[in-house]
Structure 1
């Protein structure tokens, strides 16, 4: 119930203020039109008043803050003034490119030099020379008859050897045949051994070979020789530029309140001024800059090589050797070969322990014969036949040749971009009307003015004499304090300034 009553009281209070304002407007209109002939109010005036009251009590369309006819959220005992707040701008500096970065190309030409170059006229080759074999003689002892150590039936030449059976029987009967010395004899029955004549082939000249030389073959041919190497030449193609015009915003479109008259009007009840909202169009700047259309480049031109024909001697086939074999030579030497053993029956001839009657009539004798050799002289190869390769050096000719020392090069030099600084103002906040709580005759007492002057002086601002009157020096100190503290600056003593000074608004 309490909340509803307060709300209804607030609504009724606002309606009463709106009615009073409407009546004031009506009275002002009647005075201008010369409609104040008598002290009473006519029926037409009553009708107009009733119309204004009805319009004021009719719900209004939603408006922006500061554009209401009456202050919003007003408190009893406070005064308000609607003031114009100028638009604020910020100055910005932009750097714009007026010419793009590019590059310039310098061509460094190729460097050449004439040098002596040796070319081959006749190829290197070789030829073969025969080296005959070197022969020598050497004497060799050839075994004609092998050395023998055997048991024979007699010491006479041609005596038959003793058989193993007889030797075993003699060994069995206590004769130490191993300890017998050469020349010892035993009685034995002897069947002589058989021999035959042999022929042995002895090499007197070893196999060798004969070498024939086939000389190398040549021919004269025409050969293409490089005199000047192929090269290249670099040509600079300069960059192509074009001029481009660009339009940029210098000051954006905005709206401002200006004093004047017109179909759309805002009436400041505190000052009685008529304010109009005016659209200010955007302004533009035109800048011109030079840009690269085609970058600088280079073109390479090929320079062909130069050749010259020369006659040279060319090897067709190498020298060759043909080897013919020479067979070895041999000589026949006669020899004697044992072909059959004799049959032996033995008895030791010096053994006197036995009578002669027990002898078998055979005897064996240990005979040793040295080997027989024959010296044979033969021809031998000390160094075999061979060939020697004789190198035939190549023949050369010196000619002048143009050689490339340094290839053509390109040197790119950077051209920096060009820029220009453009300054423009940008709207930070549009101008607007706003209601500010101020001191007026209702709440502006001498005591409060004195408190304000003392607070200004304490804060370091000179308000003039502290006399409780608002003069030019007091308002100058108030405005200086407002600017220093970032408070709204106007020609009123607003409540925000009082709070900053620490002065009570009640």
Structure 2
């Protein structure tokens, strides 16, 4: 109920103010208008409600305060009507010019904001072990002395070089089965009666048949089945080390007279060595940013007095120049006939909106922007 009363009074005040803003250049007597009288009646009912609320409980105190505030706004609106009547005329008018209230578009400001689109991150990379083959120098002949008179005596010995270390290999040995034949008895031996052929055999008194008791032998069948001989196992095989034999010449008897020095002799073998161990690398990637243009309103649209074209200062020649200027700016004014038709007004409105000009009337500022004098 409280919100409904407040909405009624607020709407009434707004309606009264709006009615004053839409009046002409004359200052009317607002106290004689129907809106003012209706508003006075609502104010009277509000005052009665206020007097009645004085005797109610304290829970209605807030509603009373709001009614008093709305009544105060009503008095302020009545006082402002007289001052507003004078503001309905354009400021500083010039003789021979026409004026009208036009809609001034809202103003905006553009700001460039730097936004992070991708955060800083790390990228991990790994590399495997890297090996190289190198030549390793090995001794194949010792340094020795050579005697001229008594030649030295040499012998060749074998030198073993380890190529592959000894290791153990595991091999799965499959299970071994054999097939055996087993004789299984199907039915055991038994006696059974069968029809006889002579009088020495039993005679069935009921049927008069001669019955003979015979022995039926047992019946057997032969079944082949597999029997496990040795279960599956794992065989461990020792693989011996692999060596390469190099022949080495050693001195047995040195020369005794003239000594000749012979340097040692060496050979080369290929050896695989670790050149670079496996490692991980971390690559740091900086954050990525992007500039975003934002548009913020700094001023709302409002009504403002502007000089416009009217019948007093408009000529067909001026309208022709206006239509040509609009067409040059690629706005369709319709036929170039010196008459302000609907197509010309639509072209003017589109041009004003595209260039942030006041809309609603053909203003002098629009003509200047188009270069029409």
TM-score band, normalised by shorter chain: 0.3 to 0.5
TM-score by length of 2: 0.35
Q: Which has the higher contact order (CA 8 A, sep 6+)?
A: 1
TM-score by length of 1: 0.27
Larger helix percent: 2
State the structure with more CA Rg: 1
